[in-house]
Amino acid sequence: MSGPSTVLVIGASRGIGLALVQQILTCYPSANVYATARDVAKASDLQSLAALNRGKLHLITADVMDPNSIKAAAAEISQRTDSLDHVIYNAGILRGVGKNILEIGIEPLKENLETNVFGAYYSAVEFTPFLLNSKFERKSLVLMSSNFGSIVLADTLFQLKTAAFGTDFEPTAMYNISKTTLNRLGKELDQLLRPQGVPVLLLHPGLVKTDMNPFGNIGLKESVIGIVDVISKYSVATKENYVGWNSETLPW
């Protein structure tokens, strides 16, 4: 089974994004990989990885909160290719942990939505044309979601998190809302794009232990190995499009 020849990872300066780029380069040594960071000059780990993969890993500056920046990134990539086999939107933030939803104020919700949802929308607008140009049989638009966005799992996760954080309220409420919104965005995009050959995958990376999530229970390597495997098997024929890194289908 052949692999992709061009992959874009949006939000790759650290954590899951950086490890994902490393895994893609390992799995697909002949692929051209494009990786974005808000400030490439300050993304030292990504710079080091690019130095080890000259000619294969291309670093692109992109601020997902700025649609003009995403547009400029697309223009830069278009100088090299008009086709992308996978576009993976990994950019994300977690704001508003520590107070209940009525006390924390609206700003954390705005911040979560701006990066986790609006940035995904801007990226879909700019990079869908590249996906439509791809001849790869298993091309896809991948939005990194979370099981925290599941309405069905909300009560179960509430109990687990309040016990872990020692609170009597949902400690990640504002983040949860943004991921639920992202899921709906992904569903709407999938309904539009799947008939055109570009399915949309909403992917939960697991509770990964990173600098953004010290409460994670799996490592980066385990997560990204699973992520790349799930993406590699995903196609228009796949009905389930909200899944975990371990291929588990998640309830909406």
Return the beta strands (E) in 29-139 as ranges.
Answer: 32-37, 57-61, 86-89
- Summarize the confidence of residues 123-134 as an average pLDDT: 98
Structural domains of the chain in order of their starting residue, each with its CATH number: 6-94+123-145+185-244 (3.40.50.720)
Task: Please give the radius of gyration of the chain, using alpha carbons only, rounded to the nearest integer.
Answer: 17
Residue 212's pLDDT band, with cuts at 50, 70 and 90, is low
Q: Which amino acid is at 247?
A: S
Q: What is the pLDDT of residue 210?
A: 64
Q: What is the pLDDT of residue 155?
A: 96
User: Which residues make beta-bridge pairs with 249?
Assistant: 243
The whole model's pTM is what?
0.96
Residue 164's pLDDT band, with cuts at 50, 70 and 90, is confident
Measured between alpha carbons, how far is 73 from 95 in angstroms, rounded to an integer? Answer: 26
pLDDT in tens, 24-76: 999 999 999 999 999 999 999 999 999 999 999 999 999 999 999 999 999 99
Q: What is the pLDDT of residue 217?
A: 79
H helix and E strand count, the chain: 8, 7
**How buried is 103 (Cβ within 10 angstroms: 0-12 exposed, 13-18 middle, 19+ buried)?**
exposed
pLDDT for 1 beyond 80: no
**Average model confidence (pLDDT) for the chain?**
95
